[in-house]
Structure 1
């Protein structure tokens, strides 16, 4: 397993507003995702399967980190294009149900999986989330794609056993399948309230480049 980072700063445990952030993410109702558009045959595709953090909730979708990734690739590596199949409010079960069709359409060279927060906030068993993520990774690898798993963290008020089990689920899936792991997507901005929209829930457009840079570190070697 290739770890993008060895750990997450203990400072993320600070601030009661973090609990509010995560709870609100679970309240963002899933919306119908548009069918991913197959990239031209001359390009390779990065398929992103995520929730509201990757769907650009509350901002112009063109300002979201996934769109910025597409722009970066077009300017630096014309061989790659991005298909964003993220859905606000998505769970790992929902992502798993949509993945086969997304793989068939996009035929990706890389699959980025950014899911799980809504599972935790709905109180779903960690073993179920882990099983869904594991199946998504296996399906992606079977299609011939490399995989980047992007993790999240649960607030400490859910209890140490749950929060540690939740984090370990991502590590276990990545390790057993031999894929790349980014442990915590929001790590670069978690303690910066100005990095979030007026509702203090979702990242602003201004910090999307920081989130892209955070993902770019483990993702870039996969595009070579």
Structure 2
């Protein structure tokens, strides 16, 4: 090499997927989404299915009014509850955790879940539950041994719909995550532009692909189970 010439250092290009996973902390954001969405989904399904069973199968005074209250919850805009909920969570001292997301997701998903499950239980013949009662089954045994297996297809369907609502949420997660360690994947994707700059689209697109491919895989698996369950139920009668 001639004297006085300077050698240009060899550039070590980092793949966009590695840059998004390591530098962009997309793995931590995905973990936060899993830790917030799946507990909320399980709690919402348990409470929603039980409430739908009680409001439709059991007979008591005022059940129609309670169901109307749940239906009214569907019409409440989410923007109206953010500020009161933030004040409550701040006074309770849980703003530095994922509990605000879990509680909010569970509460916002209950109205639609209760309505859909009550509609499904309405289509089940009452003779099925009367037969279980005559056989000596309690109300809890009828719920866990009779209602849940028969409502399996509906539970998976409702769970899939609510999963996409929770996973793709940005407004609630952006309101209640006050640190970078608590960001969900949607909030993390929103901050990718500021972290990598407006011109470096590679890490941003790689993070989006990681998120989309994971959701697509879950959808394909659950969708096949729904179709298989509906077909087997139709054959068995």
More strand by share: 1
Does the pair score TM above 0.5? no
Using the size of structure 2 for normalisation, the TM-score is 0.28
